[in-house]
A and B are shown apart, each in its own frame.
Chain A
């Protein structure tokens, strides 16, 4: 099966600019996650979708970050305006809904550098 696809692989922007990341999960996976991984740290959940509904966005900085999954398949994560501290790897993951022992399948991530 095809894995989780993410693009772009790298992005460099200046602070106060906007940026968007795209994720296409594994076919049939109802649950999709966006994680932020700052250098030297473990990934931190930003938002979790089940189909096109938000399950958990408690750690999403909503004043600058937004995410959508309109058709319950692929998803976009946007940052506007970006800050220096947003420099990180943004990981997308997916899993079948309701399968708690099923591992998350991750994409290769997008490395964002804000200058």
Chain B
């Protein structure tokens, strides 16, 4: 079974600075998808960024980028120019490329932005 591990329960960063959230996963498959979701206090899970495992290029969405290391099974999220609105729980998630489409989530990292 696939597992996702986020080893940082909490992180904090000064506003306007850069922070990196870590994620590792375990799978025997070669093709899959990885996601980072943000969960603010409203509880709704919001997609931040996604990565296809067959793509070597790291995904980027404005201030958010990933460092995808397939051999190491690592998928970290970098947030540049941190803003107060980035404060939330962040979840790393894995999805197979075939069969059931369910997401397997990590335990989450709580990100605090200090003004």
Contacts and interface: CB of A to CB of B under 8 A. Distances in A.
Given A56-B100, A108-B44, A109-B44, A100 B105 contact: no
B42 A95 contact: no
Interface in A79-108: 89, 91, 93, 95, 97, 100-101, 103-104, 106-108
A111 B106 CA distance: 20
B101 A93 contact: no
Interface residues of B, number: 27
B33 interface: yes
Contact of B107 (A41, A93, A97, A104): A41
Contacts of B75: none
B103 interface: yes
Contacts of B50: 101, 103
Interface residues of A, number: 25
Interface stretch (B11-19, B64-72, B79-87, B91-99): B91-99
Interface in B22-68: 33, 35, 42-47, 50, 52
A50 B102 CA distance: 11
A59 to B, nearest CB: 10
Between A43, A97, A111, the greatest number of chain B beta carbons within 10 A of the residue's beta carbon is seen for A43
A5 to B, nearest CB: 12
Given A42-B108, A45-B102, A101-B33, A91 B45 contact: yes
**Which of A42, A56, A95, A100 neighbours the largest number of chain B CB atoms within 10 Å of its CB?**
A42
A42 B101 contact: no
B43 A111 contact: yes
Nearest to B46: A106
A31 B91 contact: no
Contacts of A95: 101
A55 interface: yes
Nearest to A98: B101
Nearest to A100: B97
B52 A101 contact: yes
